[in-house]
Structure 1
Amino acid sequence: MSRAPVLLVGFAVTNRAVCAQLVERGHLVVPVDDAPDDHARLYAEELGVGLLEQPDPDDWPALAADARAIVPTPGLPESHPCLGAAADAGTPVISEFDLAQQWDARPTLAVTGTNGKTTVTLLAAAMLEASGIPVSVAGNTETPLVEAIRADRPEAFVVEASSFRLGHSQCYRPTVGAWLNFAPDHLDVHESLTSYRAAKAALWNRADEHTTSVVNRDDPVVVAHAPDEGRVVTFGLDDGDFRVSEGALWAWSEKLADTFELHRSQPHELSNHLAAAAVAMAGGAHAQGVRAALLSWTGLPHRVALVAEHDGVRFFDDSKATTPHAACAAVRSVGRAVLIAGGRNKGLDLGPMAEVADQLRSVVAIGEAAEEVQRAFAGRCPVTIAGSMEEAVRTAAEGARSGDAVLLSPGCASFDWYGSYAERGDHFSLLVRELIGGSP
């Protein structure tokens, strides 16, 4: 075994799990972090590895040249000097997916896409479990794949596969790989939209006769990257192996469920249902298990979730929508609305949000990107800037009429005012309930 170290660049949840596995297997590991906290230091100490803190950019050529491989933390900017140094030195940059596949031969069912990954991952897992197939959910979740493989119970893993992991994967080949959709995102991490697209497309780079690729027929970018090798299964609202027809969801010629039976049946949700069914059935789920999971699925928090209805106005929390693409889908699903949008922009053009301006009564702009939101809708619909979520909720409610929706669908990240999109959505929901409770 080589005694050259594996460098772990960034020492948060995923790379701590990677470190533990490498140490157990007798590998030399050097974790590196530009801004470590006390938890990182304590974890490194417990594993008996030395944590290298805040290396100078000029140190990276030597560090990379001496390393056997580099594992970047998910979300490490592509501009980080370790990546350029690795390329110059010819040192492989790999992902936790690569390592997990080397260490465990059980099937993985991977789901990527700009929007809907978590929903499809969890729903597909529920379909498989309802079909009697024990699975574990991993990847871009609380449990990295390298951690999930420790458990003996799962027969397979349903993996939420972010571009951050896929883009650095060198040998990862999922048994089933689903690409849901593509829209600009994460340009604060990826150097360009081309780089982001290539990272997503890496899901299918190693497709072969042993793999199934699940392709969204409704997304031209996804269709353009569909692999020539292996089995290909398609889904789409109007056309595909999995589709909506005659008011029902179908898998080829088999009806899975009527849409009126579902708790959530907005267009983007139906697309997610179809994708999950395609993934699950490619992984061995049967139609009865898929149907059972569909009928019990009530959706996830902060995703066009109805908070309350008062005086004919519905209030929706869609705080998870951190891209213009997701915000537009939410507006289309709720109809006439007052939109609360803004936050911390992830390097994206917010202009596409104006595509739904004709469905908006007005917009309330919030956070660091408030002025960008205002410019995006200039001349298309009225925009008010609010200095707090309290002001935003109050202003939106005052501007809504009976039959409208007040929709928090920010199109931006939450990290200007909040620690997470969940915290933002929870605060919005609390304020809505307080407002309604205080109304005569």
Structure 2
Amino acid sequence: MKRIVILGAGESGAGAAVLAKVKGFETFVSDMSAIKDKYKSLLDSHAIAWEEGHHTEELILNADEVIKSPGIPNEAPIVLKLKEQGTPIISEIEFAGRYTDAKMICITGSNGKTTTTSLIYHIFKSANLNVGLAGNIGKSLALQVAEDHHDYYIIELSSFQLDNMYNFRANIAVLMNITPDHLDRYNHCMQNYVDAKFRITQNQTPEDAFIFWNDDPIIKHELAKHGLKAHLYPFAAVKEEGAIAYVEDHEVKITEPLAFNMEQEELALTGQHNLYNSLAAGISANLAGITNENIRKALSDFKGVEHRLEKVARVRGIDFINDSKATNVNSCWYALQSMTTKTVLIIGGKDKGNDYTEIEDLVREKCSALVYLGLHNEKLHEFFDRFGLPVADVNTGMQDAVEAAYKLAKKGETVLLSPCCASFDLFTSYEDRGEQFKKYVTEL
């Protein structure tokens, strides 16, 4: 019996373990951290052996194949030992893809992928298609393949997940944009990160579709290098050469594969970044044969994504917006661009090799004050202090950051949490960071 070892027992790892067990493999799960109770219960209910708090090498190095959770670095000691002895290491998505013939709509990009993924899922679900949501959001793809049957899966893919995908095929691949992110995981080499993102197109055939932002300079540069076989569906903000989806005379238009149009003002999501998200989602739904009527309705009644430019409250004339999902500089750029009032920006966290030059002009134009929120704010002081804006330095937690921002903000201004950084210095996740922000705002 083939032995499969799963490293990491979160949503991805626990789901992969269940699928491995269901398919008859000898299955073992190992996690260096504590395993959440709900995942322990799931593993126990399938009689899957597991360990937490350490890796027992003799129980791991004898694996025929290893499924690695995306959060585990490639340089982790146990991963290096597995690589040294030639043990295949794959992702949960790669593994799950072997056991389903469902159509795969896969979305990646440095920014916008969660909103776009959620929006595509909303359109498919609203059209009463049998669809699952997976990847970075939703239930584990592997668990769904093991327990449910869907005709379509809408999958958000991070670069980390794409790293360990080899034979998986996306029927529709969506690449929103590529800007510097996670460079600490890619030897601070931008090309390594770009190559990871373009893995979403590997194994595509002429029957498949590749949807992308036509004006992204990195994507444009890379297209010729990759010799893509899929049919190309570029989108842009305005009508231009090559683009098959765009806005013209305040009307959203898609020209391929079927003609589609709707008034831009009817889109539920506002702002230029959300226009791109809506265009990519509209093309995906169009390709799946969903009617124009259903696409229009779903694009106009979508409620948005938690922790992404989420309006929290207005307190004594000051608006508070939770953009905790902005874990890189480009995402913060989009948030600042959408601000219509002077803004107190809460920024900081675990720096991933950030270059803040991209938001320099917007900070000078839009911001009335800055709150640095992190254990190590030296880089923020070095870059932003010279702007001459009022600054509060907070390394104690979200409650103090919210109170500091509230004191700095004037009536009619906005407090924006858009950190540019990962959350892991003071919080367990960007969701935890956003939830704490909302909690303390409502207590003001």
Same-fold status (TM-score > 0.5): yes
Distance 2:125 2:60 in 1: 45
1:131 matched residue in structure 2: 127
1:250-275 residue CA offsets vs partner (Å, 9 max, x unmatched):
11284532222233311111111111
Separation (CA, whole Å) in 1 of partners of 2:311 and 2:333: 17
Aligned partner of 1:414 in structure 2 is 423
CA contact (8 A) 1:414 1:421 kept: yes
Q: CA RMSD in A?
A: 2.6
**Retained in 2: the 8 A contact 1:354–1:380?**
no
1:221 maps onto 2:236 in alignment:
no
Equivalence for 1:248 = 251
**Is residue 18–residue 146 contact of structure 2 (8 Å, CA) maintained in 1?**
no
Instruction: Spell out, residue by residue over 1:366-417, the C-alpha distance to the aligned partner (whole angstroms, 9 max, x if none).
Output: 1224332222213124132135434433433343345532211111223333
CA 1:247–1:70: 2 relative to 1, 3 Å: same
Residues 120, 272 of structure 1: 8 Å contact kept: yes
Contact kept in structure 2, 1:235 and 1:275, CA below 8 Å: yes
User: 1:58-97, aligned counterparts within 5 Å?
Assistant: 59=57, 63-64=60-61, 66-97=62-93
Structure 1 counterpart of 2:277: 272
Structure-2 separation of matches of 1:214 and 1:281: 12
Alpha-carbon distance in structure 1 between the residues aligned to 2:315 and 2:94? 51
Give the Å deviation of 1:189.
4.0
Question: Please, what TM-score do these two structures have when normalized by structure 2?
Answer: 0.88
285-294 vs 361-370, which deviates more?
A: 361-370
Question: C-alpha distance in 1, partners of 2:432/2:34?
Answer: 24
In 1, Cα distance between equivalents of 2:404 and 2:10: 39
Matching of residues 28-427 of structure 1 within 5 Å: 28-37=26-35, 39=37, 44-51=43-50, 54-55=54-55, 59=57, 63-64=60-61, 66-150=62-146, 154-192=150-188, 193-226=190-223, 227-238=227-238, 239=240, 240-252=243-255, 254-309=259-314, 313-335=318-340, 336-359=342-365, 360-382=367-389, 383-386=391-394, 387-401=396-410, 403-427=412-436
Q: What SS class does the counterpart of residue 115 from structure 2 fall into?
A: helix
**Residues 214 and 235 in structure 2, CA contact (< 8 A), matched pair in contact too:** yes
Deviations 1:290-333 (A, max 9, x none): 11111101312221122334565432221111111111110011
1:391–1:38 Cα change, 3 Å: closer
Q: Is the 8 A contact 2:373 2:397 kept in 1?
A: yes
Tell me if the contact between 1:7 and 1:71 (Cα under 8 Å) persists in the aligned partners.
yes
| Aligned counterpart, 1:8 | 6
Deviation digits for residues 171-215 of structure 1 (CA, Å, limit 9, x no counterpart): 001110101112222345444443332221110121211211111
Aligned to 1:432: 441
- In structure 1, distance between residues paired with 2:157 and 2:236: 21
Q: CA contact under 8 A between 1:77 and 1:190: conserved in structure 2?
A: no
Contact kept in structure 2, 1:345 and 1:368, CA below 8 Å? no
Q: Tell me, in whole angstroms, the C-alpha distance in 2 between the residues paired with 1:88 and 1:434.
A: 53
Number of aligned residue pairs: give it.
429
SS of equivalent residue, structure 2 residue 308: coil
Please state whether the residue corresponding to 2:270 is helix, strand or coil.
Answer: coil
* Higher mean displacement: 238-247 or 45-54: 45-54
- When residues 341 and 44 of structure 1 are mapped into structure 2, their CA distance, relative to the original with a 3 A threshold, is same
Does structure 1 conserve the Cα–Cα contact (< 8 Å) formed by 2:10 and 2:35? no
Q: By how many angstroms is 1:63 displaced?
A: 4.9
Cα distance change of structure 1 residues 69 and 407 upon mapping to structure 2, 3 Å threshold: same
268-277 or 425-434, which deviates more? 425-434
After the TM superposition, list the runs of 4 or more consecutive aligned residues in structure 1 that deviate by more than 6 angstroms: none
Q: Note if contact 1:307-1:315 (Cα within 8 Å) is conserved in structure 2.
A: yes
Q: Structure 1 unaligned segments of length 5 or more: list them.
A: 436-440
Distance 2:135 2:345 in 1: 32
Matches of 2:26 and 2:76, distance apart in 1:
23
Distance 1:84 1:276 in 2: 39
Change in Cα spacing, 1:189 to 1:394, as seen in structure 2 (3 Å) is same
Aligned counterpart, 1:438: none
Between 38-47 and 210-219, report the one with greater CA deviation: 38-47
Same amino acid, percent of matched pairs: 27
**1:37 CA drift (Å):** 3.5
Classify 1:51/1:182 alpha carbon distance in 2 versus 1 (closer, same or farther; 3 Å). same
Is the 8 Å Cα contact of residues 326 and 421 (structure 2) preserved in structure 1?
yes
